[in-house]
Amino acid sequence: MSSGIVFHLLAAAAYAILAGSLWKPLWSNRAGKEGGVSAGKVRRVCLAGAIALHGAGLAQTILPGSHGIYLGWALALSAAIWLGMVVFWLESFAMRIDGLLLILLPASAAATLVAGLFPGGHLIAQAGEWLRLHLLIALTAYGLITVAALQAVLMAALDRQLHRPVESAAMRSIMGRALDSMPPLLVQEVLLFRLIWFGFAILTLTVITGAIVSIRLTTNLVPMDHKTIFTLLSWFTFGGLLVGRYTRGWRGRIALRWTLVGFAFILLSYSGSRFVIDVILHRG
């Protein structure tokens, strides 16, 4: 068993234990909108350790040598969730967003478990410096945009929850109590657009480094394949969203729709074709 798999499984166990400690009060109806969710100092230290284990697992698996790079659909999902946890950790010092851990921790436990149990992928043994840099930047962009899409879905669920009839604390479902413990929509919207800004910036670097790699390998600036087309469509979508945000004040459901459309293009560009090849067609 490789060290990358061990680190992923250890991180999965740590995330699962932390998730259980936060969800337990909700199951017993001892937490809600009034009490909220608080990670506390001990959980924060434990969370930092889990994120470190997760990052070590990714580094050991994705970068097996000084020149190669190893990629697969499970690792891409794991990397996306890890970036989300890093963003949460940094933003939690500026905003009260501990309620997001109710979603992030189970998702992180599931993603690391899947990456540990299904580590299959493709090794590019002799990737050039530009190609390796491009793939790492592209993976980062994919991860940030995936987290932004998950944030948009969560905001849509919270918006729907706010428009439902008010129920007593005893009558609320477990998911209702969890959504009541989430940060306010305005706070989450600030976080969403920060994710989009970072994702758009890294996606721009992806386009630039991809053009450089294409020129070095094929002499074509923009190869007309499906990955390039869908990446550019995603870039234009997020660019249009940011322009609309600061010129027309786009927010709420409009922002959520644009975010999900941009994510769909990224999914078609990177994850879609790779998942079909790796999982459905079983091609090595």
Shared-domain flag, residues 89 and 137: no
Shared-domain flag, residues 109 and 194: no
Does residue 88 sit within a domain?
A: yes
Shared-domain flag, residues 249 and 221: yes
Does residue 259 sit within a domain?
A: yes
pLDDT at 46: 93
Structural domain count of the chain: 2
Shared-domain flag, residues 77 and 108: yes
pLDDT at 260: 93
Shared-domain flag, residues 57 and 79: yes
Shared-domain flag, residues 253 and 114: no
CB 279 within 8 A of CB 74: no
Does residue 215 sit within a domain?
A: yes
**Domain ends where: 84, 102, 127?**
127
Instruction: With a cut of 80, say whether residue 76 has pLDDT above it.
Output: yes
Q: Give the distance between the most distant pair of CA atoms in the chain.
A: 66
Tens-digit pLDDT profile for residues 152-205: 988 888 888 776 655 544 445 666 667 777 888 888 899 999 999 999 999 999
Taking the CA atoms of the chain, what radius of gyration do you get in angstroms?
20
Shared-domain flag, residues 97 and 118: yes
Write out the residue range of the structural domain in which residue 41 sits.
1-29+36-127
Shared-domain flag, residues 105 and 227: no
Tens-digit pLDDT profile for residues 206-230: 999 988 888 887 777 777 777 888 8
Does residue 243 sit within a domain?
A: yes
**Domain ends where: 109, 127, 145?**
127
Shared-domain flag, residues 140 and 268: yes
Shared-domain flag, residues 246 and 266: yes
Shared-domain flag, residues 220 and 86: no
Q: What is the DSSP string of the chain?
A: --HHHHHHHHHHHHHHHHHHHHHHHHHTT--STTT----HHHHHHHHHHHHHHHHHHHHHHH--SSS-EEE-HHHHHHHHHHHHHHHHHHHTTTS--GGGHHHHHHHHHHHHHHHHH----EEETT--HHHHHHHHHHHHHHHHHHHHHHHHHHHHHHHHHHTSPP--TTTS-HHHHHHHTSPPHHHHHHHHHHHHHHHHHHHHHHHHHHHHHHHHHHS-SS--SHHHHHHHHHHHHHHHHHHHHHHS---HHHHHHHHHHHHHHHIIIIIIHHHIIIIIS---
- Residue 262 tokens read as 């941009």
Note the pTM of the prediction, 2 decimals: 0.82
- Residue 273 tokens read as 């074709």
Residue type, 27: W
Q: What are phi and psi of 123, to 5 degrees?
A: -95, 120
Which carries the bigger pLDDT value, residue 13 or residue 98? Answer: 13
**Domain ends where: 80, 105, 127?**
127
Q: What is the DSSP string of 247-267?
A: HS---HHHHHHHHHHHHHHHI
Does residue 170 sit within a domain?
A: no
Cα separation, 215 vs 63, whole angstroms: 25
Within 10 Å of residue 254's Cβ, how many Cβ atoms? 14
Shared-domain flag, residues 198 and 82: no
